[in-house]
C-alpha cells in the first residue's frame, strides 16, 4: 500500500504534541506537521487550501458549509475549546455593570461570525434576554486595522453590523471611549493597569463559567479539525485514521498532565487542578467524537442560524465526514 503524504497544521497545543513531535503517526500516512498561530492557519487554509488537514474556526466553518463551501470536511476533533464569559471587556465609566447594560450600546467584535462571539451572543440572549439585534456591532481589526471576514454571514435587517474605518482598531476605540464594550477571543492591548477603567464584565469569570457549566453541561467548542475534500474522497480511510491518532495524542496529554513524578506543565498544582476539573466535568475533560459533543454542536448550529450567521440551520451531522460519526468503527 502506498503511503499518503499528509501536511497537518494546528496551533501548538499540548493535546496535539505527541503527533507534532513524531511520537505518534497516522496509519498509512507520512506526516509533515506544522504548528502556527491558528488565525494564520485559518487564512492560509481558507484562501489557499495549503494544508491537507487543518484547524478551522468552528463558527466560520458552519457558515461556509451553510453557503455551499465544501473544500474541507471536518472530523470530530476539537483542538480549541474555551469558556467565554471572560471575553467581554467594558468601560467601567460607561455605566455597564451587568450584561443587561449592553442593550443599545456599540460593542466591538473583530468578526461578527467568529466563534467566541457566537457563544457570547448566545449566552447573552439565553441567560440575560439580550437579543443580538439589541446591540450595535462594530467589526474590524483588534490591534491592526483593515480586517475583513472571509465569508459573509446571512444577516437579517434587524441586526446592525457596521465596520470601523480601516485606520481604526477596536482596542484603540475601546481605550478612547468610542466603544462601550468589546467582545474578543484574546485580551486587547488596552486591558491592563494602564487603563484601569477597562474591566471584564465578569471579573470572577472562573466562578461564573463553572456555574454556567453546571447548569448547561456544555464545554464550548471553538475550532474544528478538517481534511481537504479531494484527499478524503480519494482515500476515505484517512478520516478515521486522523480521528484515531488525534484522540490518542489527546489521551497521552491528559495522562502526562496527571503524572506528578515530574510535571509536564509549569503549574505547581496542575495535578490538583486536574482533579478539581474532573470532579466537575468527568474524567475526559476534553472529549472528541460526534456523539460525545452532540449537545455543543447542536447549540452552535442553532445559534448560528438565529444570530444571522449561517444561511440555514445546519444539522450537526452535515458538518462531519460520515465515517467518523460512529466511534465504534475506529
CA 36-39-45 angle, to 5 degrees, is 85
CATH entry 3.30.565.10 includes domain 4-81+221-329:
no
pTM above 0.85, yes or no: yes
Portion of the chain with pLDDT greater than 90, in percent: 92
pLDDT at position 264: 85
Q: How far apart are CA 276 and CA 176, in angstroms?
A: 40
pLDDT-based confidence at residue 82 (cuts at 50, 70, 90): very high
pLDDT at position 15: 97
Name the one residue in this structure whose C-alpha cell is 488565525: 39
pLDDT at position 2: 83
Nearest to 242 by CA among 29, 61, 79, 33: 29
Please count the CA atoms within 13 angstroms of the CA of 20 that sit on its side-chain side.
16
Residue 69 Cα distances to 8, 15, 91, 116, 227, angstroms: 20, 28, 39, 22, 13
- Better-scored residue on pLDDT, 260 or 254: 254
pLDDT at position 256: 92
CA 29-72-62 angle, to 5 degrees, is 140
Give the model confidence (pLDDT) of 124-157 as tens digits. 999 999 999 999 999 999 999 877 777 888 899 9
Q: How far apart are CA 323 and CA 226, in angstroms?
A: 13
pLDDT at position 1: 64
> CB–CB of 142/188 below 8 Å?
yes
pLDDT at position 330: 56
162 contacts: CB under 8 Å, gap ≥ 6: 136, 137, 138, 139
- Cβ of 103: how many Cβ atoms within 10 Å? 13
Once rounded to an integer, what is the mean pLDDT over residues 88-100? 96
Residues of the chain with CATH 3.40.190.10: 4-81+221-329, 85-216
Once rounded to an integer, what is the mean pLDDT over residues 243-266? 92
Once rounded to an integer, what is the mean pLDDT over residues 248-271? 91
Pairing state of beta strands 181-183 and 4-10? unpaired
Nearest to 240 by CA among 36, 35, 29, 22: 29
CATH class of 85-216: alpha beta
Q: How far apart are CA 298 and CA 277, in angstroms?
A: 24
**Beta strands of the chain (E only): which ranges?**
4-10, 29-35, 53-57, 72-75, 88-91, 106-109, 136-139, 161-163, 181-183, 198-200, 223-228
Amino acid at each position: 500500500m502506498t503511503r499518503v503524504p499528509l501536511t497537518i497544521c494546528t496551533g501548538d497545543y499540548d493535546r496535539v504534541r505527541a503527533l507534532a513531535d513524531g511520537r505518534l503517526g497516522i496509519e498509512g500516512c507520512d506526516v509533515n506537521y506544522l504548528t502556527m498561530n491558528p488565525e494564520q492557519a485559518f487564512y492560509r487554509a481558507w484562501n489557499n487550501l495549503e494544508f491537507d488537514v487543518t484547524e478551522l474556526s468552528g463558527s466560520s466553518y458552519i457558515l461556509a458549509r451553510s453557503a455551499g463551501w465544501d473544500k474541507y470536511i471536518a472530523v470530530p476533533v476539537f483542538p480549541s475549546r474555551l469558556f467565554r464569559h471572560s471575553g467581554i471587556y467594558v468601560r467601567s465609566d460607561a455605566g455597564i455593570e451587568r450584561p443587561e447594560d449592553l442593550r443599545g450600546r456599540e460593542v466591538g467584535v473583530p468578526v461578527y461570525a467568529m466563534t467566541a462571539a457566537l457563544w457570547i451572543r448566545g449566552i447573552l440572549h439565553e441567560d440575560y434576554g439580550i437579543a443580538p439585534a439589541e446591540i450595535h456591532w462594530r467589526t474590524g481589526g483588534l490591534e491592526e486595522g483593515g480586517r475583513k471576514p472571509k465569508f459573509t454571514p446571512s444577516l437579517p435587517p434587524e441586526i446592525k453590523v457596521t465596520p470601523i474605518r480601516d485606520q481604526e482598531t477596536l482596542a484603540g476605540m475601546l481605550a478612547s471611549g468610542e466603544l462601550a464594550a468589546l467582545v474578543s477571543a484574546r485580551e486587547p492591548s488596552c486591558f491592563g493597569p494602564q487603563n484601569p477603567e477597562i474591566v471584564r464584565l465578569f471579573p470572577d469569570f472562573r466562578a461564573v463559567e463553572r456555574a454556567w457549566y453546571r447548569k448547561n453541561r456544555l464545554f464550548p467548542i471553538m475550532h474544528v479539525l478538517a481534511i481537504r475534500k479531494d484527499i478524503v474522497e480519494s482515500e476515505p480511510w484517512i478520516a478515521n485514521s486522523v480521528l484515531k491518532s488525534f484522540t490518542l495524542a489527546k489521551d497521552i496529554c491528559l495522562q502526562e498532565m496527571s503524572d506528578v513524578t515530574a510535571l509536564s506543565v509549569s503549574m505547581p498544582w496542575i495535578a490538583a487542578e486536574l482533579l478539581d476539573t474532573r470532579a466537575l466535568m468527568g474524567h475526559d475533560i476534553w472529549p472528541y467524537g460526534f456523539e460525545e459533543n452532540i449537545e455543543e454542536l447542536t447549540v452552535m448550529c442553532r445559534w448560528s442560524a438565529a444570530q444571522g450567521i449561517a444561511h440555514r440551520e445546519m444539522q450537526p451531522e452535515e458538518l462531519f465526514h460520515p465515517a467518523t460519526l460512529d466511534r465504534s468503527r475506529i
